[in-house]
Amino acid sequence: MKVYKFIVVICAMFMVLGLGSNAYAANAVPNTPKKLNERLSPVMVEFEGVDSIGSKLSTRIKELFNASNLFNLEGADVPKFRVLISSAPEFKSRPSVGSAYSVVWLFSLSDATLRHYLSVEVGVVSDEDVNDLAAKIVEKTDSIAMRYSYLFPEKK
């Protein structure tokens, strides 16, 4: 029984010491929040196609980029990632069944310079799968932006 009381007293002392050090650590950290612009990647979406599913995919990707705090839809002549989307009906006689698509990720320093190839993806998408595919493309764009972030010139 004495050992049990001793363990309880020791645990209580460690809890008090732990709470005190947390309070001290909270007071020691300055309250200066920073903006999360370190990961803000400029991106531009370009679409080429005549089918409605591909158009819907392109629009959904732009909406997700616009809603995300990781990307900035950019039309100006600045360094940016370009997401090129091309689509065509899977079957010309039944365009609403599905679309064949390709997505190419490029980096451009400016509109007047050569673009650099980063990645590609091809596949087939149905109308029901557009939202899932758009989220997957945005996620892959984020991983590409992280991998190739060194391509952007240093800010002075």
What confidence tens digit (pLDDT) does each residue in 94-116 have? 767 789 999 999 999 988 889 99
pLDDT confidence tier of residue 57, bands split at 50, 70 and 90 = very high
- Rounded mean pLDDT of 9-34? 54
Contact 143, 153 (CB under 8 A): no
Percent of all residues in the chain with a pLDDT value above 70, rounded to a whole number: 74
Which fold does the domain 38-151 belong to in CATH? Rossmann fold (3.40.50)
Phi, psi of 73 (to 5 degrees): -65, 120
28's CB contacts (< 8 A; 6+ apart) are none
State the pLDDT at residue 122: 96
Mean pLDDT, the chain, integer: 82
- Rounded mean pLDDT of 76-99? 87
State the pLDDT at residue 150: 87
State the pLDDT at residue 76: 85
Report the alpha-carbon distance of residue 45 to residue 59 in Å, rounded. 9
CA-to-CA separations, 15 to 24, 27, 116, 151, in angstroms, rounded: 14, 18, 56, 49
The SS3 call for residue 31 is coil
Whether the pLDDT of residue 45 is over 90: the answer is yes
Token couple for 11: 């645990």
Contact 29, 67 (CB under 8 A): no
Annotated domain spans of the chain: 38-151
State the pLDDT at residue 93: 77
Token couple for 80: 């940016």
pLDDT confidence tier of residue 14, bands split at 50, 70 and 90 = low
Contact 85, 102 (CB under 8 A): yes
Report the alpha-carbon distance of residue 140 to residue 62 in Å, rounded. 14
Give the Cβ contact number of residue 79 at 10 Å: 14
Least confident piece of the model among 19-23, 62-66, 73-77, 144-148 = 19-23
β-pairing, 71-73 vs 41-49, is parallel
Q: Which helix (H) or strand (E) holds 73?
A: strand 71-73
Whether the pLDDT of residue 54 is over 90: the answer is yes
